[in-house]
Amino acid sequence: MAVYLKSESEIERMREADQIVASVLAAVEKAARPGVSTLELDRLAEELTRQAGAVPAFKGYQGGGPYPFPGSLCTSINEEVVHGIPSADRKLEAGDILSVDFGVKLDGFYGDSAITIPIGEVSETAGRLIEVTREALELAIAEAVPGNRVSDFGDVIEDYVESEGFSVVRDFVGHGIGRALHEEPQVPHYRASGNNLRLRPGLVVAIEPMINEGTWQVETAEDGWTQVTRDRKLSAHFEHSVAIGHDGPVVLSRRPEGE
C-alpha cells in the first residue's frame, strides 16, 4: 500500500487548492435557496473555480458510475447520500437538505470538501442530522494527531453518531489525498478492523462521514451515479481535507475565522 507523505511546501500548495474549494462552497451555500436549480449552483461553482485558476476535479471523473461524472459539484438532496448529478430540472425547495461535495485540482494537487446546507426552514430531525454529521467530522478531525491510527476516526464517529440514534454509511469511505484525488489509505467512518496505519506528519486525509437518519444501507439510483438511502430517509455529509501536523490536525479546507 503506497502512502504518500507530503512536505510542508506541498501541504501549502494543497492548502491553496482547498481554500478555493472552501470559498466556492461558501458561495454555493449563499446561492442555495428555494427555486434555484442544482445546475445553476454547478455553473456558479465551475465559473468561480476557473476564475481562480483551478480545474473542477469531479467533472469527467471515471469509475464511480457508468459514464463520466457530468457535473463540477455533487449535489445530493434529502435521501440522496452522495454523487447526485446537478440538473436544471432539480430545483431546491424549502425544507430540503442539500449536500454539496466539491473538489479542485490546482498546480498538481487536489482539494476536497463537502457541506450540507438546510434550504429555508427544515424539520427538527433534518437540522439535528446536519449538526450531528458536522460534529462527527469535528470529533474525527481531533484524532488527526501523530501516533493515532486511521481506525481512530471511524471509532469516534460511529460511537457518537449511534449514540445520537443515526447510522454511518459503510459503502463509501474517506481517503488519502494529494497528487491524486483518492490515495491510500482508505478512511472508514465506522468501526473497522484491519485499517491500523499509524498517522504520521505529512499524511493528508479527506475525512467525510455520510450519516443517515435511518438505515446505513444505500443503493444506486437509476441514473447510475446517485446514491440514495435504502429506506429513503435523510442523509447528510461533511468533509474536510486534513493534514496530520507535528502538533495536531491542520484543516486545509477550513476558511479562516470571520470569512
Interaction between residue 101 and Mg ion (CB under 5 A) = yes
Give the helix ranges, DSSP H, for the chain.
8-31, 38-51, 124-141, 151-163
Binds Mg ion (CB under 5 A): choice among 96, 112, 158, 183? 112
In terms of CB distance, is 55 or 231 closer to Mg ion?
A: 55
Question: Considering only 10-18, 106-114, 160-168, 223-231, which stretch makes contact with Mg ion by CB under 5 A?
Answer: 106-114
CB 108 within 8 A of CB 9: no
Site string for Mg ion, 143-182 (x = CB under 5 A): ----------------------------------------
Interaction between residue 206 and Mg ion (CB under 5 A) = yes
Strands 204-207 vs 174-176: parallel, antiparallel or unpaired:
antiparallel
Interaction between residue 183 and Mg ion (CB under 5 A) = no
CB 103 within 8 A of CB 24: no
In terms of CB distance, is 104 or 250 closer to Mg ion?
A: 104
Which of 97, 112, 88 minimizes the C-alpha distance to 25? 112
Give least dist CB 164 to Mg ion, A: 23
In this structure, what are the phi and psi dihedrals at residue 125, rounded to the nearest 5 degrees? -65, -45
Element (H, E) at 187: strand 183-187
- The contact set with Mg ion (CB under 5 A) reads 101, 112, 114, 206, 208, 239
